[in-house]
Amino acid sequence: MILTVTMNPAVDQTLVLQKFVAGDTLRVRSSRIDPGGKGINVSRVIRELGGESIAMGFAPGGLGRYIEQELEKAGIETDFVHTEGETRTNIAILDEARHGTTILSAPGPNTDPAAVDELRARLRSRLRPGDWLVLAGSIPPPLSNHCYNEIIQEASAVGVHTVLDADRGPLAEGAAAHPEIVKGNRREFERLVGRPLDDEDSTLGAACEVNERGVPTVLATRGRHGAIAVSRGNIWRGVAPRVRAVSAVGSGDAFTAGIVLTLSRGDPMEDALRLGIAAGTAAVLTPGTELCHRREVDILYPRVRVEPIADAVGSRN
């Protein structure tokens, strides 16, 4: 079973404008509302691709109940801890004239540390050896960035495959617990290793560095250029097919979903990288937080090129 954890969920609203002009009154051409948060997005894409998962984490206030209901209507099992406050609302403004998206991201409500204890207890009751656990997104205030570290250690100790997709403190703290997989984009890895990553070679160097710190598999996404995978002595480059992008929102979560779903079925990393890139590429074809559709993923999948960069990490030394 795949379980996803979203500690800081959101209701994502996408507003489509013909042209965004600061300080003016603008007419919205269309609006869309989706349950959001990185782990929730992973569960949504896994469902779209024909898999199953359990969405867990926190569900603050009435909007948290709305997220639960929407996921359950979509056929996704949920087990959220109900917390005080209200779920944040993120707003994505899609400017059709400039083909750009501006995102307004709220911090999330203050969360009682006791909620973490409840979440960990629920995870302990559900997780079994061989399960896959995805910890994704930010951690709400005033909780410690160390939360992911503790959950990863507990899950790994019982033979669970752990996947971390986060940024800044939660990424650094979580990676220190040596999850099985760390996934990040260029900016996130820049902050983790503390230097700019301007091209494939520098990004690959950062991925190898994180791998050498004790993370068995490191996945670095590179937008329209695809992704790099460093895994147990092997390195692959995945090249994305060229498409006309509408919005990159959620593409990284779609990538993570494709990776985890493939690996959970026992298929090799090359296949996982191919499905991850196909799902991530399909997600940029949809506006705002609509994520990807299965039909586009199926069309793009055979067009993704996966090739070895080197036989082993050590061959780069």
- What's the CATH code of the domain at 215? 3.40.1190.20
CA–CA gap between residue 58 and residue 81 (Å, rounded): 5
pLDDT mean values, one per 10 residues, the chain (317 residues): 97 92 91 94 98 98 97 97 96 86 88 97 98 97 96 98 97 98 97 95 96 97 94 95 88 97 98 98 88 96 93 44
* pLDDT value of residue 314: 44
Q: How many domains does the chain have?
A: 1
Q: What is the pLDDT of residue 310?
A: 67
Domain that holds residue 100: 2-316
